[in-house]
Structure 1
Amino acid sequence: MIDKVAWLHVQDGRVLCARSQGKDTYYVPGGKREPGETDVDTLVREIREELSVEIDASTALFVGVFEAQAHGRAEGETVRMTCYTAAFAGEPAPASEIAELAWLTTTDADRVSPVTRVIFAHLHEAGLLA
């Protein structure tokens, strides 16, 4: 099980997604915890590293935990994504290993990882994603 924390930034029926260098698949931004980190600590650090924005930790709101087959991994290896929304300061821009950002909707399901598809379905059912 790959355990990750992710930021859901939804705007105008679209969600901000990131594509890493050398990859062709998009993910919701986030990453793995470092030892001793809380979910929110991980969220703040990962989003700062990947998107060059500062998450306001006091506004972090738990959305849900989503699981699916890990993209590009052996069959049966799953990823668990614990997702939050949060206010932020700055303008999201690719940083670190991120090559590109894109605003995606459910029509882009073929461009995203399996766990991101599960997240998209949840956001669509909640009326937040086109």
Structure 2
Amino acid sequence: MTAAPEAASGPLITVAAIAFLRADGRVLTVRKRGTSAFMLPGGKPENGESAVETAIREVHEELGIRVAATQLNLLGAFASRAANEAGHALLATVFTSRAAVAPVVQAEIDEARWVLPAAAIDDATEAPLNREHVFPLLAGR
């Protein structure tokens, strides 16, 4: 599924991310150092990396989480506005995982939190990708 809102214009940033889902329905979001928006853990691909490889590497670097490709399910590819780079568009490949994880904030991450998607849709501190695409899908809207 690809969605392209009108607001997604400007230089393009490509990322891969994982929506870790807990049994209580909460989703893990993180805030990078020096930013105000919470986003899904993940990041930009290195040369030759697939979206799956990128997501796996990034969550390990950022949160110490080890997850296997077999624990990921594709949610979709979404176009949105970038949360922390004004004037940039974002293309995000998002996976879900129900793997039990215990994130440890490290690297460029300052904060991690678990949110309920239905409630976080209206949370202005969550990235546009989360509010406009990921959370509505996870909340069944």
Percent of aligned pairs with the same residue?
32
TM-score when scaled to structure 1? Answer: 0.86
Report the equivalent of 1:45: 57
**Number of matched pairs:** 125
Which of residues 128, 133, 141 is equivalent to 1:114? Answer: 128
**SS where residue 33 of structure 1 aligns?**
coil
The structure in which a higher percent of residues are helix is 1
RMSD: 1.8
The Cα shift of 1:88 comes to 4.7
Report the equivalent of 1:9: 20
Q: Distance in 1 between matches of 2:34 and 2:111?
A: 11
The Cα shift of 1:14 comes to 1.3
Q: Does 1:20 align with 2:32?
A: yes
Q: Deviations over 1:14-50 (max 9, x none)?
A: 1100011122210010001101111111111101001
Moved more, 54-63 or 3-12: 54-63
Report the equivalent of 1:59: 71
Q: Distance in 2 between matches of 1:59 and 1:113?
A: 24
Q: Distance in 2 between matches of 1:64 and 1:55?
A: 19
The Cα shift of 1:110 comes to 1.4
Which AA in structure 2 matches 1:20?
K
Asked if the contact 1:53–1:89 (Cα under 8 Å) also holds between the matched residues in 2, the reply is no
Point out where structure 1 has 5 or more consecutive residues left out of the alignment: none
The Cα shift of 1:94 comes to 0.6
TM-score when scaled to structure 2? Answer: 0.80
The structure in which a higher percent of residues are strand is 1
